[in-house]
Amino acid sequence: MGAPFRVSSLRAPRPLHPLRYRIVLVILILFFIQQQRLFFIYRKALSMKYSPTVFECKFGRTASRLWRPADEDSQLQNELLASRESWQVLGSGWEGSTFIYNDVVIKTFTPGRSPFRNCALCQPGMKWPTEIPASLSFGNLLASDIVNTSFQGEQSSGFLPVKAYFLAAASPNSIPEWHLVTPLLREGNLEKLANKLHDNGRPKGFSALDIQYRPTFNRLLRTLEGMHLAGFCHDDIKPSNIFVQDGTHWVLGDLGNVRHISHPYHSSRIWSDNKQLHDCRANDVVRALKSYLQFLRSASNDTDAFDVAFLKGSGPPSALFWTTMVDSVSVTAEGLHARSAAQPVSTVRMLDALRLATLSTQRHSLSAFFLSKRHQLEKQVKQALRTSLSEDLARVLSLTWIVGVPESHC
């Protein structure tokens, strides 16, 4: 007999779907692990940012006097509340609204939007905006403990004083809001002053403006030096937070971000993501200098000329900036004041500054291929003088729209 008949069994090829599913599953697991890692990193960073500022370490002896307003403050409070319908809206933002009434500015703070960092004095369990104790500490009776000056005349303390503060509701059915009342400075801030100078029909060049306003900027550095000597940093210096008291005096306002020097926010991921200097005092000084140069640029009659001179390191404003940036990590308000008052700059330091300016202009991006030379220069200057800060990434990655922003408790 012949060989037995064999039936060959044909096996179908194994489908690729299980492999694809495994790859997708691995990617999803890695994505989840990374998401959790970033969640905890930025959750911690937000917690560090919104931790309280410790004022008692410096102002403990007089802190108890801050809670109870004086009789004249109570009278102003009653007058303001009775005239609420006459308040004129100056602006509104995420944290609250700002109003004008006669010769004062009323700033309100909306609860629940941005966490109040500090516990209110003498009120267990209640929190209030850090701007209130900070403004009281630096702008009023405690300012003399820091800089031994008053707000009036040549001996300006350099900070906006507080005329009143109180907790009140806009209507019987609304939630009470904190109110902070300060004097109205009709010249506004540096942004408004720059626009006024630029649009007055005969704007000056940036060099002439620098000659006119450099002494005023130097006085502002003295104010900043006083804050740093007291053990605090402003943390949000920019043109919109520098106010014009008169032709020769600028004052620091919007003290809601004031923190003691050792505050954990200064070593947080949010701080480093925004490319802030590790030493908050040096960071304040650099931001003040950037704000001054932004002012000169916006107020001048030729921003193109400013941009060219700035990136070439030519002219006193540019020389001051680039020589400061050479050792920006250790610059102090006192040191910048001395450097600003002592022109010209030494040859060796200027050569270092020119190298830094050259490196700045050599950084290219994809957008440079689509921009004209003029717009490339403009972009480089704005990037070098940038003072914006953002926590948007931290809020997104820490899922604040679900779990909220971490807060400390009183």
Pair of tokens at residue 53: 């500022």
The contacts of residue 249 (CB under 8 Å, 6+ apart) are: 156, 158, 216, 219
Distance (Å, whole) CA 308 – CA 378: 9
Residues 130/257, Cβ–Cβ less than 8 Å:
yes
| pLDDT at 202 (0 to 100) | 84
Mean pLDDT of 287-316: 93
pLDDT at 16 over 60: no
Higher confidence at residue 287 or residue 358? 287
Q: Which pLDDT band, with edges at 50, 70 and 90, does 239 fall under? A: very high
- With a pLDDT cut of 90, the percent of the chain lying above it is 58
Provide the CA 316 distance to its chain's centre, in angstroms: 26
Kindly report which listed range (128-137, 139-148, 396-405) carries the lowest average pLDDT score.
Answer: 139-148
Name residue 393's amino acid: L
| pLDDT at 370 (0 to 100) | 63
Residues 101/88, Cβ–Cβ less than 8 Å:
yes
Mean pLDDT of 338-349: 70
Pick the CATH number of 190-401 from 1.10.510.10, 3.30.450.20, 2.40.50.140, 3.30.530.20: 1.10.510.10
Closest CA to 253 of 156, 160, 133, 143: 160
Q: Which pLDDT band, with edges at 50, 70 and 90, does 150 fall under? A: very low
Q: Which pLDDT band, with edges at 50, 70 and 90, does 322 fall under? A: very high
Residues 80/181, Cβ–Cβ less than 8 Å:
yes
| pLDDT at 151 (0 to 100) | 38
Q: Which pLDDT band, with edges at 50, 70 and 90, does 9 fall under? A: low
Residue whose pair of structure tokens reads 């096996």 in the numeric block: 11
DSSP bridge partners of 182 = 105
| pLDDT at 305 (0 to 100) | 93
Phi, psi of 118 (to 5 degrees): -110, 150
Distance (Å, whole) CA 272 – CA 268: 7
Query: What is the average pLDDT value for the chain, to the nearest integer?
Result: 84
pLDDT at 145 over 60: no
Mean pLDDT of 241-266: 94
Mean pLDDT of 121-140: 86
Coil vs helix vs strand at 195: helix
Residues 341/295, Cβ–Cβ less than 8 Å:
no
pLDDT at 352 over 70: no
Higher confidence at residue 158 or residue 332? 332
Mean pLDDT of 276-291: 98
| pLDDT at 153 (0 to 100) | 41
Kindly report which listed range (76-80, 124-128, 321-325, 402-406) carries the lowest average pLDDT score.
Answer: 124-128
Q: From the CB of residue 187, how many other CB atoms can be counted at a distance below 10 Å? A: 15
| pLDDT at 343 (0 to 100) | 65
pLDDT at 312 over 80: yes
Residues 98/106, Cβ–Cβ less than 8 Å:
yes
Residues 239/294, Cβ–Cβ less than 8 Å:
yes
Range among 48-57, 192-201, 292-301 with highest mean pLDDT value: 292-301
- What does each C-alpha distance from 294 to 231, 234, 249, 269, 299 come to in angstroms? 27, 18, 18, 27, 8
DSSP bridge partners of 252 = 159, 242
DSSP bridge partners of 118 = 128
Distance (Å, whole) CA 282 – CA 330: 6
Distance (Å, whole) CA 258 – CA 135: 9
Q: Hey, where are the domains in the chain?
A: 56-183, 190-401
Closest CA to 89 of 65, 75, 107: 107
Residues 292/217, Cβ–Cβ less than 8 Å:
yes
Burial degree of 115 (CB within 10 A; 0-12, 13-18, 19+): middle
Q: Which pLDDT band, with edges at 50, 70 and 90, does 254 fall under? A: very high
Q: At what angle do helices 206-229 and 316-326 cross, to 10 degrees?
A: 40
pLDDT at 349 over 80: no
